[in-house]
Each structure stands twice: as structure tokens, then as C-alpha cells.
Structure 1
Amino acid sequence: MDARQRGITIRGDSVQLSFTFQGVRCRETIPMPPTKTALKELALKLQAIKHEIRIGTFDYFRHFPYSKKAKEFRKTRPDLYTIKEALINWLRRNQAKLQKSTLQDYNSAIYYHLIPIFGDLTIAELTAGKVKEWLSELPCSNKRKGNILIPLRQAFEELFHDEVIDKNPLTRVKNLPNKTREPEPFTQDEIARIMNELTGQAKNLIQFAFYSGLRTSELIALRWHDVDFENNRVFVRSAYVRGQLKDTKTKSGKREVTLQPQAKEALLNQHAFTGKQNEVVFHDPDTNQPWRNDQPIRKKIWIPALKKTNIKYRNPYQTRHTFASMMLSRGEHYMWVASQMGHKDWGMIIKVYGRWIPQLK
């Protein structure tokens, strides 16, 4: 029997082995001179490969570690395919359709949390118990834990749908309940004291925050073409997240907000600073450049103002809670308030702000 008939083909100074695995015709080239000894060794190797294929123990990667086919076939072996490989491959396949900030979050979750803990395990070795035990010791909020798990959940979901695994252990791992921070809205006296400490663009920004209910990321992305003074409204279409301009978080987040008198006053005052030659409404007064995230606002404006007034510190998000509580206290319908704040679920308004709704008292 010649070499070709045995599945061995001589190609110059190398030898090609041919075999069928999982219904696919495979050809792998071995870079070695086709001496009689070499051909005998390769015949035995090919015989071993075919035997392993018959009994279901063939590991393509072990025989041909540098083969492109090996990497593809390895994905079909949950007892060989590592979680590190699965996560990296999942991220590579999906990164083009992810927003930049989301991609940064997933990279952080994969390389900082998931791979160091689970990366060396094979797909088959991961259990719900291992994930739950790790989560119980992870020093961060339940919301953050849920976000870290997203890439792992989605990678395993794909493996399940591709029939690489018969069961997805992540379906047995429920996200832990988020602890909603209790709203601590500012009183009218506190708002007045804060406003008295601010001037110019800083005052306009914080006043608009208190009386519009916008998130800080939405405030700093507001553009003058989003402002409709004639019809007393602004359109919330985008947000700055980690220095990147992106669409609002949800479809309900893209909304029309009615201008309260104090919010309109803040915009009219701000127009003198940025309304003529600038696209973005709110600028850092020190640089006269648009804000790119909330940290400088917190450090340069918010914290100093609260310290000077000796008001108990609450984060800038409480301006949003203040808006909601004010609107509800004066009798505005909770569904209207939900639409103003960009909530698709008005039930959350009742849950979080129920004590400010007169008809529920």
C-alpha cells in the first residue's frame, strides 16, 4: 500500500496526513523529510488518530497544536475548551456591535475578574456552585456583580445554543437583588443655600439639574439644538458616558422634558455664555470647554458648595431625586413624572417615591 492510500501524501520536504473528523475532511502538513523511518512513524500516528476518533477520545489540539482547524474543533469539546478561550472568542465575535463604554466594561469584567478566577477551567468544569461561592466573596455591590457576570452568561448561552454543552450552569445562578439607595432629596432651603454659593455657569448647571431631573451624563450632553424655548421643552437624546457620547440608556430615556420655570431661567442665563458660538450647552467655566464626565463637576462645583453651606453630603444624583419628589409633592401625576425622568416603568416611581405622592399617603 503506497503512502497516498494510507492517507499520507508526500509534498516535497513535508508530509500531509488526511483523515475525517466529525464529518469534516482534515489535512494536516507535518514539516519533516519523508524518510522511510518518518513515514513509518507518521503511519502509526495516523493509525492512532483514527482509533481515537472511533472511540471518541481524539484531541485535535494535542496532535496538531498550531492548526487552525484544531482551534475550531477545540470549541466543540467542553472537556478541553477553556473558559478563557471561550470568553476571548465571544468578545472578539461581539465587539463590533458593542458601544465603546460597554466594551470597556466587558473587557474589565473578563480580564480583571473572570479569567483570573475561571480562565483555566474547561467549559465542562464550571458549576453553578463555583460561581455562587465566588460571588459571595466578591467585594462589590450586587449590581456590579451582575454586570461582571454578563460576558460569562452570554458566552455560555451561545455555547448552549450551539449545542457544545447540554446544560448551562449559569441558568442556576440568579442575579442578587439590588439594594436601592433611599432618596434623600434636598429641601427648598438647602437648594437656595447651594444656589447662593454658586455663580455663572456653575450655578446654571446645578440649577438646571435640580429643576429638570436629567442625569448628569444627560446634562453635559445637552446641545442648544435640543432646547426649544418657544415650546418650553428640551429633548434628551444622548449622554456622555466615560467621555464618550452615546445614545440614552433606554428608548424611554430618549424623551421630551417640559421646562420648569427655574430650569428655563438657568438655560436663558447659560445662553449668554455658550449659546452663540457653541453647540454644547454646559461648559467647564475654568476651561470653557464642554464637560466630558461628572467627576470634575463633583470635585470643582458640587463638593465645595455643600461644604461651604454645611449641608449633609449627598451625591449629585440626588438632584434627580429632588426633582421627582418636588413634582410629586405638588400633585403631578406619577406617570408624567416617570416620562419626564425617562423611566419606562412608572411602577418604579411609586416604589421609590411613594411617600411624596399625595394620593398614596
Structure 2
Amino acid sequence: MDARQRGITIRGNSVQLSFTFQGVRCRETIPMPPTKTALKELGLKLQAIKHEIRIGTFDYFRHFPYSRKAKEFRKTRPDLYTIKEALINWLRHNQAKLQKSTLQDYNSAIYYHLIPTFGDLTIAELTASKIKEWLSELPCSNKRKGNILTPLRQTFEELYHDEIIDKNPLQRVKNLPNKTREPEPFTQEEVAKILNELTGQAKNLIQFAFYSGLRTSELIALCWQDVDFENNRIFVRSAYVRGQLKDTKTKSGKREVTLQPQAEEALLNQQAFTKQLNETVFHDPHTNQPWRNDQPIRKRIWIPALKKAGINYRNPYQTRHTFASTLLSRGENPLWVAQQMGHKDWGQIRKVYGRWISKIKSDTYNQS
């Protein structure tokens, strides 16, 4: 076979094949000595490639699996491009604009759930029924299921907008309704028993949690500069999530909270431990270093205190429920309570804490 055959070029000790695919001129180098036998085989390969391109069956990746172009062209073939490839590419392109905690969640969803389940399927093979069947058997809450689906939803949304697929199966899969857990606030007697089992910084932290309504992530991010004793208030601006300081969960989460007398007392007592450092208010009493997540608090402070007080376990979030139910039970304006809690309106307060709002209050604010 003539080494000068169109589309075949000898490059030293290798051979370059040239062809046009989807309007793009492609050149692929084969590391093979240009013997007569090799050139004959490559000529047949080039003929096969051109034939497959003509009839629409050409798989770039199959012919040139290590080619950069192959990876790009594969994305345009929903019958060849796997969900694993699509998810990994989507994550790589978007990770720079994701917060670290969000990136960790997406990595977990992709590598522990989505790829093991759907990774070997091609984009074209995924159907709404397959997703729904999998969701029905997934042993976790509806909220968690929705979070796991998020990277898959966003990946397919991009594929649809880039016109790689004509239909998006995720549009036929609705997130399952979240089941709101009934609050289990502590009584004032229980609060007193718990605090009675604590001392020093541990007591100040838990007392402040009960009487401020802050989330644990907000508590451990609170700085002394956010405390305004003169005007009886604190400013909630940030939160520690998985060891990373970030803005509050929502815009409404960035708020001003009025200091209840017991919360103010906890802060005044805490000054002796950390005020001179002029940084975060609450520190781990074992290390005298700022807390970075809620797990040590739960294990070393919260669980032991409940056991000593003889109170059945409830998670630390119930301190927040206790704060809200206490304010509502004494007749505080639900709109004001919503602001103190960091909700954008009082709808969530009415939904979660409705039974602590008197009928008169409820009737008054239903028209808001």
C-alpha cells in the first residue's frame, strides 16, 4: 500500500491517521513503525473509520481510547457516553464554584450512590422508572434522597441544555415530600436538670443554646465582636459546617437576636474563659480551642448530661425547638419569633410549632 495514501502520514517511527468527523478535522498518531504490513492494516482501519462515519456508527473512543478528542466526541453520543463519565465531568467542571461542604456532599452522592447504581448505563439508557424504582428501595429519608439526586439532576440538565439529549428523564422524577419531624422540646424542669449536670464552659454553651435558639453550627461560630451587651443583642453572621466557616444557611439566617436573660447570663459567665482572646465565644473545655463541629459537643457534653439527668435522649437541635416553643407559649408574636429563629417568614413557625401558638394568636396572624 502506498505510504502516501490520503489520510495516512508517516511521522518518524509512527503513523498519523487523518479524517473528518462531525465537521472537525481529526488527526490521531499511532505509535507503530511504518512497515508495509502496518501501513496496510492502518489503511484498512482508516477505511473502516470513514465507513462508520458515513453510516453513523463511528465510536471515536473505541478506535482511539486514549485520545483527548475521543473524550470530547463521546459526550455527544448519549448511546455511548456513560453516566459515570458524565457525573465525573460535571463535578470536575463545577467544583471550583462549590463550597467545600457542598462538594463533600456531591462527592458522597456521586461515588457512593449514583455511580454504583447507574454508572455503567449510558445517558440514553437512564429512564424515570429506573430512578423511581431505585428511590423506593433507598434506605434513607426523603430529604436525603433529594440531596443524592441533585448532582444527577444538574448533570442531565446541562446535557439537555447542551442539546446532547432530547429528553431529560429527571424532569419526570419529583422529589419526595419531606416529613417534618414533630418537635420534642424540653420542659423547663428538664432544662434545669440538664444544666445542673454541667459546669463551666460546657454549661454556658448549653444554657446559651436553650435560650438563644441558635443552631449548633451558629453557636460555635459566634464571636465576641458579634455580642452587643449594651443593646442586649447578638448578631448571627456565620456558621461552622464540617470544620469550614461559611455564611449562614440562608439570607434570613443572618440576623439580630435579642438576648434573653438566661442567654445573657451564659455569655457573662463565659467571658472569664474566652473574652480575653477576643475571638470565638465558646471553646472546647478539654482543649480550650474553638469548636469546629458538633460531634464532640454531642458525644462529650450533651449525651453524658442527659444520662446523668435521667432524661431520654433527644438530639441537640431540640434546644432550638425549646427556645421557639417557650417564646410562643408565653404569647410572643410569631412573626418576631420567626425572625429570632432565622426564618424568612412565619410560615415555618406556624407549620412546626402550631400547637404552641394560642388560638387567638393563630387567628390573628393567619391573615398575614
Superposed pair shares fold, TM > 0.5: yes
Q: Which secondary structure state, in structure 2, belongs to the residue aligned with residue 239 of structure 1?
A: strand
Deviates more, 1:3-12 or 1:115-124: 3-12
Match of 2:298 in 1: 298
| Whole-angstrom distance in 1 between the partners of 2:287 and 2:14 | 67
In the other structure, the counterpart of 1:24 is: 24
What whole-Å deviation, never above 9, does each CA across 1:1-42 have from its counterpart, x for those lacking one? Answer: 965561222212222111111111111111222233332322
The 5 A counterparts of 1:63-102 are 63-102=63-102
The match for 2:149 is 149
Q: Report the residue type matching 1:31 in the other structure.
A: P
In 1, Cα distance between equivalents of 2:278 and 2:94? 36
Residue matched to 2:366: none
- Cα shift readout 1:215-258 (whole Å, capped 9, x = no counterpart): 01110111111111112111111111122222111111111111
What secondary structure does 1:275 align onto?
Answer: helix
| Number of equivalenced pairs | 361
Q: How many Å separate the matches in 2 of 1:2 and 1:236? A: 77
Q: Provide the C-alpha distance between the structure 2 equivalents of 1:70 and 1:4, rounded to a whole number of angstroms.
A: 25
Give the match for residue 234 of structure 2.
234
Range moving further from structure 2, 42-51 or 348-357: 42-51
Alpha carbon RMSD of aligned pairs, Å?
1.5
Structure 2 residue runs without a partner (length 5+):
364-368
> What's 1:38 paired with?
38
2:99 alignment partner AA: Q
Q: Percent identity?
A: 88
Please state whether the residue corresponding to 1:34 is helix, strand or coil. coil
What does 1:103-122 correspond to in 2, within 5 Å?
Answer: 103-122=103-122
Whichever residue aligns with residue 46 of structure 1, its letter is L
SS at match of 1:194: helix
TM-score (normalised: structure 2): 0.94
Q: For residue 200 of structure 2, what is the amino acid of its counterpart?
A: G
1:325 aligns with 2:304: no
Q: Which amino acid aligns with 2:133?
A: E
What CA distance in whole angstroms lies between the structure 2 residues aligned with 1:38 and 1:307?
78
The residue type paired with residue 98 of structure 1 is L
CA deviations on 1:314-345 (whole Å, 9 max, x unpaired) are 11101100111111122222221111111124
Q: Deviations over 1:95-140 (max 9, x none)?
A: 1111111111111111111111111111111111111111111111
In structure 1, what is the Cα distance between the partners aligned to 2:300 and 2:28? 64
Structure 2 residue matching 1:287: 3-state secondary structure: coil
Aligned to 2:14: 14
Q: Deviations over 1:265-307 (max 9, x none)?
A: 1111101111012411001112211112112211222122222
Contact 2:339-2:345 within 8 A present in 1 as well: no
AA matched with 2:313: Y
> Secondary structure at the residue paired with 2:276?
coil
Unaligned runs of 5+ in 1: none
Distance 1:184 1:333 in 2: 21
Task: Tell me how far 1:347 sits from its aligned partner.
Answer: 0.8
Equivalent position of 1:180 in the other structure: 180
Give every structure 1 segment of 4 or more consecutive aligned residues whose post-TM-superposition deviation is greater than 6 Å.
none
